[in-house]
A = this chain, B = another copy of it.
Amino acid sequence: MKRQPPNARERALIEAKANVLKALGHPTRLWMAEQLADGERCVCELAEFIDADFSTISKHLAVLKQAGVVEDEKRGKQVYYRLKVPCIVQYLPCVEAVIETSIRERAALLG
């Protein structure tokens, strides 16, 4: 069976998937997603541990939301964020495996 170039439909799906991965591909946003694996958090709780302007944090959350990774809910003065599809963080062990492999290889090079 010969391989095919991706058609328009497939290309759209790939783009959407890449967009999700890209959203998680920033240290601050990945950290946020990991925090949310333990349950919802308001912006102020997340901000407590992030050394960045509040507006920056807000924009990172907007990126995660736009990608469909999180959803938000306003309760009183606070806005709570939570993961929409929790499996998204269950992947991370494999991502870590990638890193461990790289580290092991570098160590092997050093003897």
Contact = CB atoms under 8 A, between A and B. Distances in A.
Nearest to A34: B14
Interface string A7-28: 0000101111111111111110
A78 interface: no
B94 A87 contact: yes
A30 interface: yes
A15 B3 contact: no
Contacts of A88: 94-95, 98
Interface string A62-95: 0000011100000000000000110110111011
Top 10 A-B residue pairs of the complex, sorted by shortest distance between their CB atoms:
A22-B25, A68-B102, A91-B91, A21-B25, A87-B94, A5-B49, A25-B25, A18-B27, A18-B30, A21-B24
